[in-house]
């Protein structure tokens, strides 16, 4: 795969670079003369007689990206506390999550997650490191840009994300990204091997009437599975049991591994008609017709053994086959056709049709014992069709309304919908209030609906589940002058789908109700900073089906300033992350899903602060992150767990790099 990637980048890059006329000096050229602020001046060859130097005009706003149906963003090269929070293998802030001991593994949810709308084969255990179509970035850059993101792995291995993007001219861009992760892990049977290749491109005509964008992605998320420790006291009391090396602790599974593979092709195009001009002479198209096509193939496999599955084999009649490979395939095709109506630069409305076809395949040759299993089909399909709409109303900096609506009709599950709307009001400069609603009725998860297994009770096809419904009402108060943000949210979940203690999926014939209040404040004085994030939450109805900690706290105390004659920037301090004790969901590799613990054998997790020491630096456009993760594990008790039966890792020296190269 590495040789193929190098060859692909070489083929794409060499001929394209040769097509650029580096002597262009027009304002529209990516190689314009500059006389004001730049990222860094770069001399280019000049044909003039006086040997004058031509400089590339490069300001950071010349390097932009966007995602499907989202506004443009500028590539961020700053060193902030948020960039520190996001320096990890998923490149996201992990507040509200508890990582597993190895990277490339799941996270235990510490708060109610916003579920993605739509059909997917992806299990909860492989969801975090997956790039959805909405996550793919499309670029517009003045000069070629390369980006590296690096994190060292656990015990052995690394994570590296490499991105190269280049504008052939002001109309056409391509980008190639490869993400590779391989980490052995601290405990036995924890090897994680994830990789992703993404090739994206976008084009528009000079008058911007026609735009075309698309991407191809290939992703693999592979893991060895250990199902936790056989005896957690081998970890807790390791010193007394001569098991200070956690590699010697026995685990529950020694032969099980899971694999997930995805290939996706996406192509979008839009064509504008009826151009109109604004007061500042910029123009837009009053009507824009768009179409988006998505093809995706997903394969999910779990390969186990009779020895690893022995705890669930209760007798000869319970075993209905000797094929310990569980394999599912999902093929999906989506077509989205919309018309966008823009009445001004403030109001835009989209409306259109959406069609989706999904086909699920098990194994048609699954070697069940004769007459042992009936009514487990090897394939299932579903057609969904309906309406989609979107509203963007930006009256001013003080008033905006954004909304997304989706109504679909399915064959087996009736009506589905996805409504996401938010109103933002800023009555006084520096103060803003946002109120929003998120409502969904979605198909049941594929893994909870269909499964084949050599164990009798793990063969099921539940096509009579109800749609899973959720409702979230929320409000956000932003106090810019006080560097404070307060958020409150209420959740109502109907027909909630979960896994019981016996690992069988079930649907709750009632509602789960929960709320949370979250606040974040940033105090700063003379280079010293204190960033506090506190969250209180409570499940007020059917708490046992969605256990969550009541309190989450993150405190970050640090100093930040310029050093070495202002040629570098340093950020150094301490970070503390804590959540209160609760009876968390267990994790089962049999389905790669989280399940309710047995009430008679509950093991709570939490009530253990995790203290990290860090020193981060920025030199030009390179950011270096050096951390002492979980420093207090060196002298504290071994009472830290990622999920029941799965301990977190102790102290770890961690180094990360994020490097943006503008050439």
Average pLDDT over residues 314-335: 88
Residue 151 lies in a domain: yes
What is the pLDDT of the chain when averaged over all its residues?
90
3 falls in which pLDDT band (50, 70, 90)?
Answer: very low
> Residue 29 pLDDT > 60, yes or no?
no
Among 624, 632, 662, 663, smallest CA distance to 649 is for: 632
Q: Which of 561-588 are b and which e, b meaning 16 or more Cβ less than 10 Å from the residue's Cβ? A: eeeeeeeebbbebebebbbeebbbbbbb
Q: Is 31 a residue whose pLDDT tops 70? A: no
Spatial neighbors of 592 by CB under 8 A, at least 6 apart, are 106, 123, 124, 125, 126, 258, 302, 447
Cα-Cα end-to-end distance for the chain:
26
What is the mean predicted confidence (pLDDT) over 376-394?
A: 94
Residue 42 above 60 pLDDT? no
Average pLDDT score over residue span 375-396: 92
pLDDT of residue 316: 64
pLDDT band per the 50, 70, 90 thresholds, residue 395: confident
Hey, CA dihedral for 28, 34, 39, 45, is it positive or negative? positive
Does 19 reside within a domain? no
- Is residue 492 domain-resident? yes
CATH number at residue 324: 2.40.170.20
Asked if residue 8 is part of any domain, the answer here is no
Inside any domain, residue 20: no
What is the distance of C-alpha 203 from the center of its chain? 26
- Enclosing domain of residue 186: 59-115+123-662
Q: How far apart are CA 601 and CA 66, in angstroms?
A: 48
pLDDT digits (tens, 9 = 90+) for 4-15: 444 343 433 333
Burial label for 241, CB within 10 Å (0-12, 13-18, 19+), is middle
**pTM attached to this predicted model:** 0.89
CA–CA separation, 323 and 366 (whole Å): 7
Report pLDDT digits (tens) over 128-147: 999 999 999 999 999 999 99
Q: What band does 263 get if pLDDT is binned at 50, 70 and 90?
A: very high
Assess if residue 395 is contained within a domain: yes
> Is residue 44 included in any domain, yes or no?
no
Q: What percentage of the chain carries pLDDT values higher than 90?
A: 78
Report pLDDT digits (tens) over 445-454: 999 999 999 9
Which pLDDT does position 23 carry in this prediction? Answer: 35
Domain count, the chain: 1
Indicate whether 443 belongs to any domain.
yes
pLDDT of 268 strictly over 50: yes
């Amino acid at each position: 795969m590495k040789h193929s990637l190098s060859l692909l980048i070489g083929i794409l890059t060499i001929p394209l670079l040769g097509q650029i006329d580096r002597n262009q000096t027009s304002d529209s050229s990516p190689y314009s003369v500059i006389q004001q602020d730049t990222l860094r001046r770069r001399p280019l060859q000049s044909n003039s007689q006086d040997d004058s130097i031509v400089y590339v005009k490069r300001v950071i706003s010349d390097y932009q990206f966007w995602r499907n149906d989202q506004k443009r963003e500028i590539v961020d090269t700053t060193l902030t506390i948020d960039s520190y929070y996001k320096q990890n293998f998923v490149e996201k802030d992990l507040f509200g999550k508890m990582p597993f001991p190895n990277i490339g593994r799941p996270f235990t949810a510490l708060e109610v997650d916003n579920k993605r709308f739509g059909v997917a084969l992806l299990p909860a255990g492989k969801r975090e490191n997956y790039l959805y179509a909405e996550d793919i970035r499309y670029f517009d850059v003045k000069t070629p840009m390369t980006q590296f993101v690096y994190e060292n792995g656990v015990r052995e291995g690394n994570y590296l994300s490499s991105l190269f993007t280049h504008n052939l001219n002001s109309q056409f861009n391509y980008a190639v990204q490869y993400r590779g992760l391989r980490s052995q892990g601290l405990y036995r049977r924890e090897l994680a091997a994830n990789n992703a290749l993404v090739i994206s491109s976008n084009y528009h005509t000079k008058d911007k009437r026609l735009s075309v964008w698309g991407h191809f992605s290939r992703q693999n998320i592979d893991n060895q599975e250990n199902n936790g420790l056989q005896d957690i006291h081998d970890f807790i009391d390791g010193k007394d049991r001569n098991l200070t090396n956690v590699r010697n602790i026995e685990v529950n599974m020694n032969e099980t591994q899971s694999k997930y593979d995805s290939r996706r092709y996406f192509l979008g195009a839009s064509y504008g008609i009826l151009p109109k001009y604004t007061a500042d002479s910029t123009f837009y198209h009053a009507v824009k017709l768009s179409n988006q096509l998505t093809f995706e193939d997903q394969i999910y496999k779990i390969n186990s053994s009779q020895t690893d599955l022995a705890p669930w084999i209760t007798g000869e009649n319970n075993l209905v086959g000797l094929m310990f490979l569980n394999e599912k395939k999902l093929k999906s095709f989506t077509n989205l056709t919309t018309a966008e109506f823009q009445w001004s630069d403030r109001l835009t409305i989209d409306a259109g049709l959406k069609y989706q076809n999904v086909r699920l395949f098990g194994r048609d040759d699954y070697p069940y014992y004769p007459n042992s299993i009936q009514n487990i089909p090897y394939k299932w399909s579903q057609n969904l069709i309906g309406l989609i709409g979107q509203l963007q109303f930006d009256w001013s900096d003080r008033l905006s309304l954004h909304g997304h609506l989706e109504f679909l009709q399915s064959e087996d599950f009736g009506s589905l919908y996805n409504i996401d709307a938010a109103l933002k009001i800023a009555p006084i400069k520096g103060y803003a209030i946002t109120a929003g609603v998120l409502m969904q009725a979605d198909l049941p998860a594929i893994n909870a609906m269909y499964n084949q297994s050599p164990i009798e009770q793990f063969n099921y096809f539940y096509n009579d589940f109800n749609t899973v419904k959720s409702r979230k009402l929320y409000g956000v108060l932003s106090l810019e002058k006080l560097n404070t943000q307060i958020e409150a949210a209420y959740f109502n979940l109907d027909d909630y789908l979960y896994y019981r203690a016996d690992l069988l999926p079930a649907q709750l014939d009632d509602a789960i109700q929960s709320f949370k209040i979250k606040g974040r404040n940033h105090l700063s004085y003379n280079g010293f900073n204190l960033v506090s994030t506190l969250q209180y939450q409570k499940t007020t109805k059917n708490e046992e089906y969605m256990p969550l900690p009541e309190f989450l706290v993150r405190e970050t105390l640090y100093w930040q300033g310029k050093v070495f004659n202002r040629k570098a920037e340093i950020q150094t301090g301490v970070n503390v992350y804590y959540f209160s004790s609760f009876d968390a969901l267990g994790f089962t590799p049999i389905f790669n899903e989280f399940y309710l613990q047995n009430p008679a054998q509950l093991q709570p997790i939490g009530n253990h602060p995790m203290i990290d020491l860090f020193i981060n630096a920025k030199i030009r456009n390179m950011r270096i992150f050096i951390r002492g993760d979980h420093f207090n594990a060196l002298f504290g008790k071994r009472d830290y767990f990622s999920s029941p039966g799965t301990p977190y890792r102790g102290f770890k020296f961690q180094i990360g790099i994020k490097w943006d190269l503008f050439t």
